[in-house]
Structure 1
Amino acid sequence: MVQSTCVKCGNTRFEVRENLLARQGIKVQFVQCIRCGTPVSVLDHYVPSAALKANAELLEEMDDYFRQDDQFVTSITSMLAR
C-alpha cells in the first residue's frame, strides 16, 4: 500500500486539528502534517462520528460519576445500618 507523504517536508505522519474559518465562523478540522503543519485535507467539524465519540465520552464520565455516587450511598447505608 502506498503511504501518504507531506508535499512540503516529506513526513508520513498526520494529525487532525480543529480550527475556525476566520470570516465565516465555521468550525472545520484540518488533516495536517504533524511535523510542519501543512494542511492536506479539510473535514467538516460536525460529522456524525465526531459527535458520537463526544457523546460516548460524556456518557462514560456520567457513568463514572453515578458509579461513585452509588458507592457513596451504599457506604452511608451500611454505616447507618450498624
Structure 2
Amino acid sequence: MATTPLDFLLQKYGPTMTLEELAVVLKRKPGGVRVVLAMRTEEWAISLNSRKIYIGRRVHFPTDAVAELLTGDLIRKGTE
C-alpha cells in the first residue's frame, strides 16, 4: 500500500514541523532554509511563509503545507 507524502510526514513529524525538520525534509541546512524564507525571493518561500505559525517564539510550518510543497501543489494554489 503506497502512502502519500502527507501521510508519511504526518506519521514522522506530526501536524507541524519546525524549521530544522523542514530543512531535513528539503535536504538543506537550517541556516540556508532560514535565509531563503527571510529573503522571500522564491515563490515557494513566499507561499510557505504565508502559512507559518508561531508556537511560543518558535516558527512552525503546517505539515500539510510542506507536503503540498513537495508535490508542487503549494505553488499552484498561490498562483490561482
Measured against the shorter chain, the TM-score band is under 0.3
Q: TM-score, normalised on structure 1?
A: 0.18
Higher Rg of the two aligned structures: 1
Greater share of helix: 2
**Higher normalized contact order (CA 8 Å, seq sep 6+, divided by chain length):** 2
Q: TM-score, normalised on structure 2?
A: 0.19
